[in-house]
Amino acid sequence: MPHPRNPQTFRVKSFGCQMNVYDGERMGELLAAQGMRAASEGEDADLVVLNTCHIRERASEKVYSDIGRLRRDDDTAPMIAVAGCVAQAEGEEIMTRAPSVSMVVGPQAYHRLPGMIEEAARGRRSTDTDMPANTKFEALPERRRAGASAFLTVQEGCDKFCTYCVVPYTRGAEISRPFSDLLREAEKLAENGAREITLLGQNVNAWTGATSSGRSLGFDDLIRELDKLPKLKRIRYTTSHPNDVTEGLIRAHGEVEKLMPFLHLPVQSGSDRVLKAMNRSHTADSYLRVIERFREARPDIAISGDFIVGFPGETDADFEDTLRLIDTVGYAQAFSFKYSPRPGTPAATMERQVPRELMDERLQRLQAALNRDQLAFNQASVGRRCEVLVERRGKKPGQWLGKSPWLQSVFFEGEAAIGDMVSVDLAEAGANSVRGLLLEPVGA
Ligand code: 5AD
Ligand code: SF4
């Protein structure tokens, strides 16, 4: 272990999903509340928190190369904390393999970082991968800063046990955060500048709660309650499971104006045989029917998804089924991955693992289809007039970047500021972004 001292500055580096980004922000706020300061760009930090992801092999290998890069043999070496899902899954192994790591802290225990840092400053390494009954949320300081678009974790963990997935092991069982806490956090975020909130959860639409008077609430009720916050202009959510979609959520898409016309609904495969082996508990058809119902409620809704190619036993015919499903849906955007065996999951030991080259070839074909559809979606939006939430400056002087209601990246030139909602005409489509022409601003 490097030279013990009390860190004054910190840097949190988050990998993986948006929930990790959210956790990273909250760790930063916690450290700031302890009197530490975020290191500025280019400045060496006294403490580096690697907030890791375990979802696929490539993601989890990153942690060791990052630790290697931070190593120094003199006293300029930073104190290193490994957090996130690799910490949860491989805590002991990290401690053994990487002596320069001072502490390992799981995604449900990071509120205990201050104590662990104190220990490390005294030269003692520690590991905390507890999943305590009193959640970390109760121990974290209130939200103080927010960008134009903010994340809010409302639900964590997963009880679905898809056979390829580590999440039930790294994030634990499904839990919903209490309604009153969420309302308060959303209010704070809106007060601090958030115009859009994306509600996060591994199965976000499985969220349940109750009002202070005991009325029980579903995920759609949560959306309708947040809709009442005047400063908040947009609501999004991710990720959903097809089986937890309710009639109420579908209806909300037709009725709640602040709820954006966008749905990320992973399907993983278009083959019922593969879906069964994945333990997805839906079929290609039942998935398509869910999408249809969303489209009936909100015809312009943009659909996004996740795909895995090369799941054990996937045949050419199975893969063709996936391509067919993609053609049927017409995704506005989607994520696709090669299957990666994760230690401890049932699929890792299944027979008929698909050879690498075949996976590569299938992924290429799949991504070509998805890219084609994404460009087509963007092209079809040209001529639409819509609101854009301005999130940051573009690369060129006078240029701004923001998101359309359909989550397209839109760039435009003219008078604007971060957090503005501006009206644009969508004028020119690329594969990854759309050029907008600014109309008059409609207020911040
Ligand atoms: N291999 C490849 N992709 C995976 N995903 C989850 N686990 C694996 C795995 N073992 C993908 C799924 C999921 C997304 C977050 O990551 O598509 O929806
Ligand atoms: Fe990665 Fe899943 Fe953990 Fe997110 S929850 S950081 S995707 S392993």
pLDDT digits (tens, 9 = 90+) for 166-189: 999 999 999 999 999 999 999 999
pLDDT on residue 72 = 82
Query: Residue 443: pLDDT above 60?
Result: no
Q: Which residue has the higher pLDDT, 5 or 42?
A: 42
Tokens of 107: 């995604």
pLDDT on residue 416 = 94
* Protein residue closest via CA to atom 17 of ligand 1: 306
Query: Residue 73: pLDDT above 80?
Result: no
Show the ligand 1 pocket: residues with CB < 6 angstroms.
55-56, 164-165, 266, 268, 306, 308, 337, 339-340, 342
pLDDT on residue 145 = 80
Q: pLDDT tens across 365-390, in order?
A: 999 999 999 999 999 999 999 999 99
* Protein residue closest via CA to atom 18 of ligand 1: 306
Q: Averaged over 136-158, what is the pLDDT?
A: 92
As to burial, measured by CB atoms within 10 angstroms (0-12 exposed, 13-18 middle, 19+ buried), residue 426 is buried
**DSSP code of residue 404:** -
Query: Residue 444: pLDDT above 80?
Result: no
The band of 134, judged by pLDDT with boundaries at 50, 70 and 90, is confident
* Protein residue closest via CA to atom 14 of ligand 1: 306
Which pTM value belongs to this model? 0.94
Q: pLDDT tens across 387-437, in order?
A: 999 999 999 999 999 999 999 999 999 999 999 999 999 999 999 999 999
Mean residue pLDDT of the chain comes to 95
Q: Tokens 């989890």 — which residue?
A: 60
pLDDT on residue 80 = 97
Q: Calculate how far, in angstroms, residue 165's C-alpha sits from the geometric centre of ligand 1.
A: 6
Q: Averaged over 91-96, what is the pLDDT?
A: 94
Sheet holding 79-83: strands in order across?
37-38, 9-14, 47-52, 79-83, 101-105, 126-128
Which among 170, 204, 275, 308 is the best mutation to test ligand 1's pocket, defined by most ligand atoms within 8 Å of the CB?
A: 308
As to burial, measured by CB atoms within 10 angstroms (0-12 exposed, 13-18 middle, 19+ buried), residue 22 is middle
